[in-house]
Amino acid sequence: MPLAHGSMANSNYSCTICGNITSKWSGRCEACGEWNSISEDIGLSQGPKKSSLGKSRGSNIPLGDLKSGDKPLVRTKCDLDELDRVLGGGLVPASAILVGGDPGIGKSTLLLQAAARFAIKGLKTLYISGEEAASQVKLRAKRLNLEASPIQLGSDTNLRNILTTLETERPKLAIIDSIQTIWSDKVESAPGTVSQVRAAAHELTTFAKRSGTSIVLVGHVTKEGQIAGPRVVEHMVDTVLYFEGERGNQFRILRSVKNRFGAADEIGVFEMTELGLQQVTNPSALFLSSRGIPSAGSCVFAGIEGTRPLLVEIQALVSPSPHSQPRRSVIGWDSSRLAMILAVLEARCEVQFSGLDVYLNVAGGLKITETAADLAVAASLISAKENIILPEDFVFFGEVSLSGAIRRVSKIENRLKEAEKLGFKKVESPKNNTLVKGLNIEVFENLDLLSFVNKLSDGSKKKAIKDLDANV
């Protein structure tokens, strides 16, 4: 009987009691001493030897149920409310965070400020720079008045050296700036290549899960606005944050596009100053502070970014085109969405934009992603084309369908409360079956885009007649 078991080539055997793996059969387990507990393993998979798992078996994974009493996550806040909001309420232990953004947008400044706050709160913090020397980071810290913060600073690009340092120091938070500069001696390619970025991200993320250290990786973005390197890096980490903003604008938006420990698409608003990035607690008021005198093509959109309501100004300019192909330029919104709104206005409302250049801009450098801005965009386009100055106490929101209908959007009550708080008196919105009580704001409901456009045109005519009578 033993000969029958041992005669098979490339067979593996394991003990049914303790799980000890051996290459040959025996009557007694050498690990636990039990008799007749050795059995031949059945292969895990079949196929070519180089690509299949074969008959080699691993160890069992510890399993539990959904009711297991694991310790609740203890978050650490850095007292930067905007950053804590985007993280989902604070820093989670053993988490891996990827922060991306354009060069010079303020990623290193924000993370150095956050590291100082975490260190002051008692979190052992390491800042490893692969792009700057330690002396350069110290100069930035001095400019930001952070030189007294208990941050441990290092400068290196060798992954092996970084992991050895992390193993020795065992920090609670480690910031790696940036992942594109880190290289592994086990990968035969230059730093910043796909294989190097993937290998470095995998090793650092694995260390975070194993040691309980929170790892923050800084990543550069491509011209398309994506993290440079493989998309698999975004799948490895727990949280992906993008730092948005125009270089000529003082506002910076920190947006969460993935978060396993909080709400996705949450935003934090910062303002770039001489003393670094300052959080903006009331972004709606700040975005509208420089609006000035209302003009044709300008309207206010009541939006929702993450969980917070946000009011921003949408600007449009329509002018005759000197080119055979009219231009369509968009900043802060989806260009394909603009093309759809223009097509609906032409097909359903008989408002022609052929031969006209169309420019659309979201003031303040904010990027709007929700479809609720459709009605505000349509209003600004009609206002710009027909030279209609919309009332300054109006806000707009609503989704426009291809049929021209104005569809209901989510969180209407939050939008109305934010508009009322900032002094707006009237709102153009979709048909809403849920009546919001207790608000001192007049709601004008619209079923379709055609009636909305006619309402704007009629209002403009009445205002023109009123102005004419006043002049006479």
Q: Is there a single domain that holds both residue 320 and residue 424?
A: yes
Examine residue 329 and state whether it is found in any structural domain, yes or no.
yes
- CA max distance for the chain: 117
Q: Is there a single domain that holds both residue 344 and residue 412?
A: yes
pLDDT tens per residue across span 107-118? 999 999 999 999
Per DSSP bridges, beta strands 251-259 and 239-244 are antiparallel
- How many CA within 13 A on the CB side of residue 351? 25
Q: Which two tokens stand for residue 72?
A: 């609740």
> What is the CATH number for 107?
3.40.50.300
Nearest residue to 374 via CA among 317, 299, 290:
299
In whole angstroms, how far apart are CA 272 and each of 106, 129, 279? 8, 22, 9
Report pLDDT for 91: 94
Give residue 37's domain range. Answer: 1-57
CB contact at 8 A, 53 and 44? yes
Q: Quote the mean pLDDT of the chain.
A: 86
Report pLDDT for 7: 40
Boundary-marking domain end, from 281, 309, 344: 281
Report pLDDT for 316: 96
Report pLDDT for 468: 34
Question: Long-range pairs for 184-188 at CB < 8 Å and ≥24 separation?
Answer: 184/159, 184/160, 185/158, 185/159, 185/160
> What is the CATH number for 360?
3.30.230.10
Q: Is there a single domain that holds both residue 300 and residue 259?
A: no
Rounded percentage of the chain residues whose pLDDT exceeds 70: 88
DSSP 386-453: HT----TTEEE--EEPTTSBEE--S-HHHHHHHHHHTT--EEEEE--SSPPPS---EEEEESBHHHHH
Q: Is there a single domain that holds both residue 267 and residue 303?
A: no
DSSP state of 246: -
Between the CA atoms of 16, 21, 24 and 28, what dihedral angle is there, to the nearest 10 degrees? -50
Report pLDDT for 463: 57
Beta strands of 125-266 (E only): which ranges?
Answer: 125-129, 152-155, 173-177, 214-220, 239-244, 251-259
Q: Is 300 exposed, middle or buried (0-12, 13-18, 19+ CB in 10 A)?
A: buried
- Which parts of the chain register pLDDT below 50? 1-9, 461, 464-472
pLDDT tens per residue across span 425-457? 999 999 876 667 778 888 899 999 999 999 887
pTM here? 0.78
pLDDT tens per residue across span 343-393? 999 999 999 999 999 999 998 888 898 999 999 999 999 999 999 999 889
Q: Is there a single domain that holds both residue 126 and residue 38?
A: no
Compute φ and ψ for 194, nearest 5 degrees.
-60, -45
Alpha helices in 237-319 (DSSP H): 283-288
Examine residue 69 and state whether it is found in any structural domain, yes or no.
no
Q: Is there a single domain that holds both residue 351 and residue 233?
A: no
Q: Is there a single domain that holds both residue 109 and residue 254?
A: yes
Q: Is there a single domain that holds both residue 412 and residue 270?
A: no
Report pLDDT for 466: 44
Q: Is there a single domain that holds both residue 267 and residue 292?
A: no
pLDDT tens per residue across span 288-329? 877 778 889 999 999 998 888 999 999 999 999 998 899 999
Q: Which two tokens stand for residue 112?
A: 């150095």
Q: Is 114 helix (H, G, I), strand (E, B) or coil?
A: helix
Report pLDDT for 4: 43
Q: Is there a single domain that holds both residue 122 and residue 40?
A: no
Q: Is there a single domain that holds both residue 136 and residue 92?
A: yes
Other CB atoms within a 10 A radius of the CB of residue 458 amount to: 10
Report pLDDT for 221: 75
Examine residue 64 and state whether it is found in any structural domain, yes or no.
no
Q: Is there a single domain that holds both residue 421 and residue 459?
A: yes
The total number of structural domains in the chain stands at: 3
